[in-house]
Structure 1
């Protein structure tokens, strides 16, 4: 162990003391090496020492972590507000009423089934459902009447469109 430590220290110091020699070989090619060539006119080159890289700045990881947490909290708050605005807009929006968007042109079976599905969804989503029976004046239905209308529409839809459409 006593001889090992000086040996390691010598190996560490050697690259710092390296010298560079330059000579021209028999073919006229310029050669560089860390030891002179025997029998050649080798010149010792002075090599400018590379400056050490500047020491790393005092990196405060705690400060970066604090800023990162603030940014994540701010982004989460922005996303929560946007989601709340979307939910509020969706709640204010009236459900699609297929009866209000009627057309006098003939409908295909597919269109009839789609309209029936929309009417069922509308009746399920609308708590205060009103129906006019040809007299023109809409009559507000009770909850029991509304549930009966939904059951009738689902039954008619099953008969007309089958279970799959």
Structure 2
């Protein structure tokens, strides 16, 4: 069975880096949910306006369709996606028998410093507080600290995922 893996957490926590490393290690396809946002969502975030549930709904549904389509083709996928609320995770997982969740966990100061160091991303540090406010910590995820190195995160994720 093809089981998607979702690397989740607030903006700036390192989701894309870990998702790419996991995909490479597993011979899977890495996807970044940011690439699926409609232009209006990107412009809203770039302007410093948090997305609403209404903004996220079609985006999450399109991600679910993408995951189901790729699974039907026998393709293994590792998706980097904030998936901050349980209902967002439920939408992502709809009609998918099994999904594995990896939660990159850290505090706001630590992640804000990471956001200040990255270049070329539309998500401003000013929206980080809204991400933490929206975050509903998952109860069914592998939890990995953002303070670990990317190599340590990868090793822990690989050791924790079912074989």
Please give the TM-score of this superposition, normalised by the length of structure 2: 0.22
**Rg: which structure is higher?**
1
